[in-house]
Chains A and B, each alone.
Chain A
Amino acid sequence: MTEPDEQLTYEAATARLEEIIKRLDSGEAGLRGTLELCREGRTLVELCAAELEAVGAGLEELRLEDLVARLEAGAAAQGPPSG
């Protein structure tokens, strides 16, 4: 079984998901293979759902200067990089 990559993009995840569904629908996968595909598919569904959730909570509008200020504040809070 292929473990979904943490850095998998939404498109890659949905493409793999479609591949899994197609494979399951074909009935070619054995019992063990089916369960493994279902497990991988569920992980991908969760990943995609999280991505959709992130762009579905509500539109946030931000000015560029505010974002920059926020990032700078965050960097300052973390302190200068050691080394």
Chain B
Amino acid sequence: MAEPQARPDGIAGSALPGPFSVGRYAADLREYLRARARVQLFGEVWNLRVSRTKLYFELRDAAGALPCSMWRNELEALQLSEGALADGAQVVIAGGLDYYTGSKTSSPSFSFAVTALRVAGEGDLLAQLERLRKTLDAEGLFAPQKRLERPGLPRTIGVVTGEGGKARDDVLAGLRRRGWAGRVVWGFAPVQDRHAAPRITAALQDLAGTGEVDVIVVARGGGSLADLFCFCDETLCRTVALLGVPVIASVGHHTDRTLIDDVAALSCSTPTHAAESAVPVHCRDARAELLRCAHRLSVHARRALLHRAQTLVRLSRAPSEHLAGERRRLHQRLREIRASGRRRVEDERKRVGRRALVINRRVQAEALDARRAAGLNALALALAAHDPERTLERGYALVSDRDGEVVTSAAAARGARSVSVRFSDAAVDATISRDDDDRA
């Protein structure tokens, strides 16, 4: 603000002093608050936020709360262990009230300026949360939801979320990413204030009670654990645990684990992820896969039918093929028999021919022999006719000299004097006497 404006008139009839310029009043207020006694306070840290130079948080207990701020260099000087100062931490702080007066362009703020801090231990709320977590676990309430069968392809999905929150759009984006376009039933409920837990519980019960919802997504965007504390409500968690419909929780982020994350069937880090988990089947891929399966079945069926047809054709052809085969075999046998017969006849013919030739030759030889024998007989007879032996048998005698020469005349006989006279049965020697000469 440049210069204070000219002081306007006050409110007519008002007995209060002024009007004063707000900047001056704010500065006076700051001085007033700063003049208050500096004290120590204790409570739980919630909504812890850290900026470049300062950290801000609320110090709470069951009765009330106070906004607090602290310079980062003063906190770092305390050298606290990492994570010691977090939502739910029980702390003791020292400091005093302060007021930032703001300006024309910046908002004023009131806070308790912390100059010293000590972490006293785990906050009551977190301790309560942990006790409840253990109780529910001991009662076995983390298990029932996880035993429920989650459909791969739900037709109707119930969603419990804030009506104006970003989680709603994230859920729809997750469903679109899955290619899912079924029915979404919105169970809108506040997801932050103290009325949230009963409304969320009622929405869950109503959704399950319709009998139309296959799976329920409970979604809320990120926030501090304090903001998400409604999702740690005991009644809500017991309701979820015993619900007959699977519940997928997506509350805050993984760093802020609420009890509904433990009792739900599944806990996801974002509403988009929760929506995708509600539809495990990717619909576009599933359609493509189904087409592939249908095609495979069609191919197998066609092949099977073709095979059957081929078998039938083969079977139908079998008798005629068998007959043709038999016919071929018989013809072959017949040809073989005929050939064999011809060979046999030929062989016989040749053999008979050979035998006939042999016989013929033998007959001819025998005839020749006969002829020869006859000739020989004739010759023998002729010879016999001329045989001197035959003459001798008739009473003639053959005279030969000592040298065996035939004596054919009486003169020769006389000259030989001693001759051999052969008769048919034997020869006898004879001497030619002189008397014979005389008689001659």
A positions within 8 Å CB-CB of B: 9-11, 14, 17-18, 20-21, 24-25, 31, 34-35, 37-38, 41-42, 45, 48-49, 51-52, 54-64, 67-68, 71
B289 contacts which chain A residues (CB < 8 A)?
A: 14
B194 CB to closest chain A CB, in angstroms?
22
- Asked if B203 and A64 sit within 8 Å, CB to CB, the answer is yes
A20 contacts which chain B residues (CB < 8 A)?
A: 297
- Asked if B184 and A59 sit within 8 Å, CB to CB, the answer is yes
- The answer for the CA separation of A19 and B290 in the assembled complex, in Å, is 13
Going nearest first, the 3 A-B pairs with the smallest beta carbon separation are A55-B182, A38-B301, A11-B152
B62 CB to closest chain A CB, in angstroms?
34
Total A-B pairs, Cβ < 8 A: 112
Interface centre among B203, B286, B296, B300 (most CB of A within 10 A): B300
- The answer for the CA separation of A55 and B156 in the assembled complex, in Å, is 9
A18 contacts which chain B residues (CB < 8 A)?
A: 293
A-B contact pairs, 15 of them (CB 8 A): A9-B149, A10-B281, A11-B152, A11-B281, A14-B152, A21-B293, A21-B296, A24-B297, A25-B296, A54-B182, A55-B153, A56-B283, A59-B182, A61-B184, A62-B185
Knowing A9-B152, A10-B281, A55-B181, the reply to whether A45 touches B301 (Cβ < 8 A) is no
- The answer for the CA separation of A62 and B157 in the assembled complex, in Å, is 10
- Interface 1/0s, chain B 170-182, versus A by CB < 8 A? 0010011001111
A47 CB to closest chain B CB, in angstroms?
10
- Asked if A35 and B304 sit within 8 Å, CB to CB, the answer is yes
- Asked if B153 and A68 sit within 8 Å, CB to CB, the answer is no
B positions within 8 Å CB-CB of A: 149, 151-155, 158, 172, 175-176, 179-188, 203, 206-207, 210, 212, 279, 281, 283, 286-287, 289-290, 293-294, 296-297, 300-301, 303-305, 307-308, 311
Residue of A nearest to B281 (CB): A10
A51 CB to closest chain B CB, in angstroms?
5
- The answer for the CA separation of A52 and B290 in the assembled complex, in Å, is 10
Residue of A nearest to B158 (CB): A64
B410 CB to closest chain A CB, in angstroms?
137
Residue of A nearest to B279 (CB): A55
5 other A-B residue contacts (CB within 8 Å) besides A42-B297, A55-B283: A9-B151, A21-B293, A42-B294, A52-B283, A57-B181
Residue among A41, A52, A57 making CB contact with B297, cutoff 8 Å: A41
A71 CB to closest chain B CB, in angstroms?
6
